[in-house]
Structure 1
Amino acid sequence: MRRTAAAALLVLTLGGCATFPEQGPREWHEQLEGAGELGGPPQVPEPSPAPQTPQPPGEEGQTGPQQAPSGCQDPDPQVVATCLDPVGAIAVLPDAASALVGERRTGRVLRIEQGSEPELVATVPVDTTGGGGLTGLVLSPSYIEDQLVYAYITTPEDNRVVRLAAGEPAKPVLTGIPRGPANNGGALAVDDDGSLLVATGNAGQPVPAPDSLAGKLLRIDLQGRPAKGNPDPLSPTMSSGLQSPGGICIDPRRGAAWVTDRRVGEDALHLIVPGQLPAPAWRWPDRPGVAGCTAQDGAVAVAQVRPQSLFVIRTDPKNQFVGAPETLLQETYGRLSAATTAPDGLLWLGTVNRAGGYPVSSDDRVVRILPLAPGGGMD
């Protein structure tokens, strides 16, 4: 099946890329003088096709499981949870078999596991105007001991980072991030020293003030204070210039951190550099709606909303892109949003088909991409 082949290719792409040839960019990888940390964005040899309006399930061009879902029952073995509201964020738990899922519009945080009904963990009041809601979710770096979770949410007053503990109301960690008529979404990650990385939208302001928390990549400790090692020790700001970030991803082996951004005129992927926001490492002039991302062994995978696919690019040890990009899972699960990597290396994705797509009866879903077992079956 096309879906099975795509899953196999995805695992090969993300799991089999630990080493890369020691060579410079390919001929089509154009270098632009003085254009940023990576020497300028690579150019794909042929222009990407314009985003296509997705076809309703069952029409020509729609691919996916051959057996259609029935109600909330989905026969696809890679589907972990069904009948969710559009998925804003996913945080896989240490057991790698279950995860916490944040629904953007409802503010619900659910614990999901294949074969079990979702369990409500918390409900955070959110305001969804201007792309806001619950858009970021990450486990505490000491989750096994403290069972704490951090979320990025929009309220009627601001955007903020809150801490969630079972049975308790959400506690503010960092407040006062401006909200506005647009670009209220944000993203969270934990870096290698346990600090929180917070990507904030510009709240509809073309150029937020330097001291504003809008349109920034912030780095804070778990109490919301500027993290040690920031460019300015008194400021949480690590770099400026984001517009509408979709996700932050950190490659644990390479130490590289990336942030996706939906910008005026293009979508972009930035390599995170302290003190500056370099020129995009990769550009999408066709604006596919980049969302969550994940990075593993030099492979960076970016969920895309409008092409309904996963875009994968690979880097060498110097974070230079090598080889041609790959587009996986195209129109297999619909509009992809959240993306994260589990402790066992598998990739978890969330969908937002009930927010502008063509949902099937089991949408919205969380999918876990499984490897092929020996002999071609699924694990």
Structure 2
Amino acid sequence: MRAAFAVVVAALLVASGCARFDDAQSQPFTTEPELKPGPSSKPPPPPPLPPKPFPKECPAPGVMQGCLESTSGLIMLPDSQSALVGERTTGAVKEVSVRAEPKVKVVVPVDGSGDGGLMDIVLSPTYVQDRLMYAYVSTPTDNRVIRIADGDIPKPILTGIPKGPTGNTGSLIFTSPTTLLVQTGDAGDPAQASDPRSLAGKLLRIEQPTTVDQAPTTTALSGLGAGGGLCIDPADESLYVTDRTPTGDRLQKIAKDSTVSTVWTWPDRPGVAGCAALDGTVLVNLVNTKQSVAVRMAPDTGAVTGDPEVVRQDQHGHAWAMAVSPDGNVWGATINKTAGDAEKLDDVVFPLFPQGGGFPRKNEDAT
């Protein structure tokens, strides 16, 4: 589970406007006329208009924030009522809240063609001290991991990850204060996922991520399809990986001792995406079917106890990212514009369980 930090980042929104460029510059220079005060009977100017209110439809009822472009990474902030969310095609990282307009923290140059763009974000485990954010992005030539410092240009950490017309999606997660894992897609070519010389279709380990003299990456897992999501169960520190292959979607588990096992497969390929895990229950967003499901495992054996249980159906549409807030609730972020449902469904950050109750650990807790 991604850590949340005590300092909420904020940035100034830059207001954009329009200018008219006519033929004034082609006219001869003339002396500016002298301005004289008008008649004393002229009424005083009207008072300034009040600030434009935050549109009532953004956020819409029941969501933290609406009117977003299709989202990617999601980071819940310490108050559990605000978050950082990435927009895949614009490259913007926005701070959103139930109480205020979104604030743009940074805009990263990305190539948003196909399924690429700004694909995930994660804060440094020592963010309070170093103010660093990491992102997985597409450029015109590759996919890469970059580091973003306040007030500085993004700097590359890992470059040369193959980029394709599809299969670019991926995910980031810190498993320790010094270890960053990067899930890369297969770039639409499953052969690259099994090729040890390729960075595509892998779970890569970066130790001490830095912009200078970065140590070589190591491979924690290979043979991955298009990236879905990464999440850690804090109860036993197991890492869960979702990915989408030509033959089916998968949820895999990497135990603390590095043992890899397949927890569940979906031959019908519902589009696994972001996940969250706690006490042997893994929640997974299924993009194509507009669902979130709970996969539960027995505490003694780790065996799945039954078919995945649907805990969200249709509400808010196609959800990709998933994150747990400090108060225990689970949040999602949607990609309805990417999925072609923009006319019917907005892109939002929303609570999976708006009635409360937090993470559903047992069958009777799911709603």
Q: Is the TM value for this pair above 0.5? A: yes
Give the CA deviation at 1:285. Answer: 1.0
Contact 1:270/1:281 (<8 A) preserved = yes
SS of residue in 2 equivalent to 1:117: coil
1:185 counterpart (150, 164, 169): 169
SS of residue in 2 equivalent to 1:280: strand
Give the CA deviation at 1:249. Answer: 0.6
Q: 1:155 maps to what in 2? A: 139
- Compared CA separation, residues 210 and 273, structure 1 to 2 (3 A): farther
Give the CA deviation at 1:157. Answer: 1.6
1:206 counterpart (165, 190, 203): 190
Percent identity among equivalent residues? 44
Supply the AA of the counterpart residue of 1:75.
P
Q: 2:331 maps to what in 1? A: 348
Larger Rg: 2
Structure 2 Cα separation of the partners of residues 97 and 70 of structure 1: 17
- Compared CA separation, residues 116 and 100, structure 1 to 2 (3 A): same
Q: 1:98 maps to what in 2? A: 82
What 5-or-longer segments of structure 2 have no aligned partner? 1-54, 358-367
| Residue 329 (structure 1) aligned with residue 291 (structure 2) | no
2:124 counterpart (127, 140, 153): 140
SS of residue in 1 equivalent to 2:338: coil
Contact 1:239/1:274 (<8 A) preserved = no
What 5-or-longer segments of structure 1 have no aligned partner? 1-68, 226-232, 375-379
- Compared CA separation, residues 164 and 269, structure 1 to 2 (3 A): same
Structure 2 Cα separation of the partners of residues 370 and 279 of structure 1: 29
- Compared CA separation, residues 224 and 244, structure 1 to 2 (3 A): farther
Supply the AA of the counterpart residue of 1:348.
W
Supply the AA of the counterpart residue of 2:141.
E
| Residue 364 (structure 1) aligned with residue 347 (structure 2) | yes
TM-score of the pair, normalised by structure 2: 0.75
Structure 2 Cα separation of the partners of residues 107 and 259 of structure 1: 24
Q: Within 5 Å, give how 1:54-93 maps onto structure 2.
A: 71-76=57-62, 79-93=63-77
SS of residue in 1 equivalent to 2:128: helix
Q: 1:21 maps to what in 2? A: none
Give the CA deviation at 1:354. Answer: 1.3
Where relative contact order (Cα < 8 A, 6+ residues apart) is larger, the structure is 1
- Compared CA separation, residues 159 and 275, structure 1 to 2 (3 A): farther
Which range is displaced more, 275-284 or 185-194? 275-284
SS of residue in 2 equivalent to 1:145: helix
Supply the AA of the counterpart residue of 1:211.
R
Contact 1:238/1:275 (<8 A) preserved = no
TM-score of the pair, normalised by structure 1: 0.73
Q: Within 5 Å, give how 1:118-133 maps onto structure 2.
A: 118-133=102-117
Give the CA deviation at 1:236. Answer: 2.1
Q: 2:42 maps to what in 1? A: none
Contact 1:240/1:276 (<8 A) preserved = no
Structure 2 Cα separation of the partners of residues 332 and 373 of structure 1: 16
SS of residue in 2 equivalent to 1:281: strand
Structure 2 Cα separation of the partners of residues 165 and 244 of structure 1: 28
